[in-house]
């Protein structure tokens, strides 16, 4: 093979795939970043990744394999040590008696080829693979499930439930080499590896169930060593500074840890159940970039109304939806747009999930009477322009928030309601006056999160008979060809990767305000439903646009009003 590392730029220029000026600019950038020249050229937009990969494969005389479509045999790939696979960015794709096929990000890495030959004891065939796809596939293949089972077994061998030394557990809290620490770290690493938002640890009579919430859906792993459950619970409660002797009452706590060079805040909730304690941990990565307003991907006609309402210096705007529907993310995206040196913003949260400069962020603490209502009342004396209330839960908080919205403050908040119009009903349930709501409420935005179809493994899907009838009932054509994900390394075999929001927006106009002022709720509901595009319709349209699958949106049919 040619000395390709030296000649890559020149060869690309000779083939007129880049210009000499672009090559010189890329070389200067490479000196500053230390990145590979090929990556620099792609990042600068001088050449596409696909074109570069195909060029490399031709010059190196090795085939290029697209891991997004290549049928990965996990059992075969796991025969190669994870340590070497990650170090050299390589994958064992095929293993036969007389040959092995290795996928390499850098097919000229002699050390990688030597290590593969030493481990596999067969002649090696090489293929070129993309680095991003390689890393995603490694995360899919080398899940921590086997490691968790092994560590749980080792821990069971070393402990006796009747002789758990709580004092020693507390002393060992900083030691990472004790068995329970290894097991816990392995669980966290597995969760971070698959981008889980929550970890559920649930003891049962004959097994320990560990479940990860990925893109809103739980995926589970079971451990047969049930005796590790109590000591695992004790260890986690020590980290969160909870009462380790209290097993009869629910407890809440939090702690921080570093996994895979990322810092996480962990919110812990414990609950006594039949066979021990159920633990749920929410993982919040520190320093995550807050979405901008444009990142919300709100439809244009909604975006214009949102911008108009945000320019009004007073009034209330609500974001509604169930738990886990992205309400906080939406609120902070709006605050990100409003944040400037000219305005003072106070947020009242439980807990503080995102951090923005200039914001005065307050964590509520009911144990010392630092409630939403009390903090909101005191915040009004801090001369704020904008107030964000994390959630309106009671009549007192709602009353203060509405009056603040009427006295020159822009108030943003959330409520757990079914849709936009039911938010007003919820306010009335909290003994709020219709005239007060009519005077203060400007806009209600209801939202849900749907899983995105994986862009790498998406195939055509024709609705079945039941789904066709359902589409007809919803006034959509039953002949539309939708998309479905068949599963690949990029999406960890689920067919989905990431989530996106769909929205329903209600902007109160003069007719609606008049109906509220005259206590005519029937007229208000009629006007509100007429003014809104319901969530279920937005969901079906997203499936037609192949952003998500038809199966993902069927449950929203309960929102339709036919």
Is residue 559 over pLDDT 50? no
Considering only the top CATH level, what class is 294-451+499-535? alpha beta
CATH 3.30.450.90 residue ranges of the chain are 143-285
Q: If residue 375 lies in a helix (H) or strand (E), which one and from where to where? A: helix 372-379
Report residue 92: phi and psi, to 5°: -85, 115
Tokens 């908040």 identify what position? 413
pLDDT in the model for residue 163: 42
- Residues 6+ positions from 304 with CB-CB distance below 8 Å: none
Is residue 136 over pLDDT 90? no
C-alpha span between 301 and 180 (Å, rounded): 53
How many other CB atoms sit within 10 Å of the CB of residue 389? 29
Least confident interval from 82-86, 200-204, 558-562: 558-562
Pick the CATH number of 143-285 from 3.30.70.330, 3.30.450.20, 3.30.450.90, 3.40.50.2300: 3.30.450.90
Is residue 37 over pLDDT 80? yes
Tens-digit pLDDT profile for residues 61-95: 899 998 877 888 888 898 898 889 989 999 999 99
Percent of the chain with pLDDT over 70: 92
Cα–Cα distance list, 224 to 221, 518, 536 (Å):
10, 63, 42
Instruction: Taking residues 374-398, report their average pLDDT.
Output: 93
CATH 3.40.50.300 residue ranges of the chain are 294-451+499-535
CATH 3.30.300.160 residue ranges of the chain are 4-135
pLDDT in the model for residue 226: 79
pLDDT in the model for residue 159: 56
C-alpha span between 200 and 282 (Å, rounded): 9
Q: Which long-range contacts (CB under 8 A, 24 or more apart) does 473-481 make?
A: 473/562, 474/536, 474/537, 474/540, 474/557, 474/560, 474/562, 476/540, 476/544, 480/544
C-alpha span between 405 and 387 (Å, rounded): 9
Is residue 545 over pLDDT 50? yes
Tens-digit pLDDT profile for residues 502-517: 999 999 999 999 998 8
C-alpha span between 121 and 347 (Å, rounded): 62
pLDDT in the model for residue 158: 62
Is residue 235 over pLDDT 70? yes
pLDDT band at 550 (very low <50, low <70, confident <90, very high): very high
Is residue 23 over pLDDT 70? yes
Least confident interval from 25-29, 175-179, 385-389, 484-488: 175-179
Tens-digit pLDDT profile for residues 244-265: 888 899 999 889 888 878 889 8
pLDDT band at 491 (very low <50, low <70, confident <90, very high): confident
Average per-residue pLDDT in the chain?
86
pLDDT in the model for residue 166: 41
pLDDT in the model for residue 4: 45
Write the Ramachandran bin of 504: left for phi over 0, alpha for psi from -120 to 50, otherwise beta: beta
Is residue 146 over pLDDT 70? no
Tens-digit pLDDT profile for residues 291-328: 788 888 888 889 999 999 999 999 999 999 988 888 99
pLDDT in the model for residue 172: 46
Write the Ramachandran bin of 514: left for phi over 0, alpha for psi from -120 to 50, otherwise beta: alpha
pLDDT band at 388 (very low <50, low <70, confident <90, very high): very high
441 alpha carbon, distance to own chain's centre: 31
Write the Ramachandran bin of 85: left for phi over 0, alpha for psi from -120 to 50, otherwise beta: alpha
Pick the CATH number of 4-135 from 3.40.630.30, 3.30.300.160, 3.60.15.10, 3.40.50.2300: 3.30.300.160
C-alpha span between 507 and 63 (Å, rounded): 57
Token pair of 78 as six digits: 């796991």
Angle between helices 372-379 and 395-406 (to 10 degrees): 20
**What pTM was computed for the model?**
0.75
Instruction: Taking residues 413-438, report their average pLDDT.
Output: 90
pLDDT band at 174 (very low <50, low <70, confident <90, very high): very low
Cα maximum dimension of the chain: 85
Is residue 170 over pLDDT 50? no
The partner residues of 448 in beta bridges, in order of sequence, read 502
């Amino acid at each position: 093979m040619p000395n390709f590392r030296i000649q890559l730029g020149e060869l690309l220029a000779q083939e007129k795939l880049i210009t000499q000026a672009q090559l010189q600019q890329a070389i200067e950038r490479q000196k500053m970043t230390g990145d590979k020249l090929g990556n620099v050229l792609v990042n600068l937009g001088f050449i596409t990744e696909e074109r570069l990969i195909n060029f490399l494969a031709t010059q190196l005389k090795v085939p290029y394999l697209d891991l997004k479509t290549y049928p990965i045999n996990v059992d075969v790939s796991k025969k190669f040590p994870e340590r070497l696979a990650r170090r050299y960015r390589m994958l064992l794709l095929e293993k036969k008696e007389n040959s092995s096929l290795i996928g390499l990000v850098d097919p000229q890495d002699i050390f990688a080829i030597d290590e593969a030959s030493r481990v596999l004891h067969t002649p090696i065939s090489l293929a070129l693979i993309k680095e991003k796809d390689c890393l995603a596939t490694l995360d899919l293949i080398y899940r921590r499930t086997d490691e968790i089972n092994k560590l749980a077994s080792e821990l069971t061998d070393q402990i006796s439930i009747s002789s758990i030394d709580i004092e020693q557990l507390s002393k060992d809290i900083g030691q990472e080499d004790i068995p329970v620490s290894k097991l816990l770290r392995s669980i966290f690493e597995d969760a971070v590896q698959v981008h889980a938002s929550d970890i559920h640890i649930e003891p049962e009579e004959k097994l320990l169930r560990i479940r990860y919430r990925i893109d809103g859906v739980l995926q589970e792993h079971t451990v047969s060593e049930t005796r590790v459950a109590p000591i695992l619970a004790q260890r986690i409660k020590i980290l969160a500074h909870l009462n380790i002797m209290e097993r009869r009452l629910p407890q809440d706590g939090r702690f921080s840890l570093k996994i895979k060079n990322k810092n996480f805040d962990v919110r812990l909730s414990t609950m006594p159940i039949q066979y021990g304690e159920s633990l749920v941990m929410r993982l919040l990565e520190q320093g995550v970039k807050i979405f901008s307003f444009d990142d919300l991907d709100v439809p244009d006609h909604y975006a214009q109304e949102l911008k108009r309402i945000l320019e009004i210096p007073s009034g209330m705007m609500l974001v509604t939806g169930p738990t886990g529907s992205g309400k906080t993310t939406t609120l902070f995206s709006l605050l990100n747009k409003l944040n400037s040196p000219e305005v003072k913003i106070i947020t009242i949260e439980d807990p503080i999930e995102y951090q923005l400069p200039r914001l005065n962020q307050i964590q509520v603490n009911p144990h010392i009477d630092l409630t939403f209502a009390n903090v909101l009342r005191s915040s009004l004396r801090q001369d704020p322009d904008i107030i964000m209330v994390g959630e309106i839960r009671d009549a007192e908080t709602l009353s203060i928030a509405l009056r603040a919205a009427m006295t020159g403050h822009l108030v943003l908040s959330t409520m757990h309601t079914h849709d936009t119009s039911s938010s007003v009903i919820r306010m009335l349930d909290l003994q709020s006056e219709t005239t007060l709501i009519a005077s203060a409420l400007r806009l209600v935005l209801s939202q849900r999160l749907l899983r995105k179809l994986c862009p790498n493994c998406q195939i055509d899907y024709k609705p079945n008979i039941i789904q066709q009838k359902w589409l007809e009932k919803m006034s959509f054509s039953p002949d539309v060809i939708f998309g479905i994900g068949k599963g690949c390394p990029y999406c960890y075999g689920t067919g989905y990767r990431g989530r996106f929001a769909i929205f329903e927006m209600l902007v109160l106009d003069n007719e609606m305000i008049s109906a509220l002022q005259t206590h005519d709720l029937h007229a208000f509901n009629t006007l509100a439903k007429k003014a809104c595009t319901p969530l279920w319709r937005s969901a079906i349209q997203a499936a037609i646009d192949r952003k998500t699958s038809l199966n993902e949106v069927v449950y929203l049919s309960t929102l339709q009003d036919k």
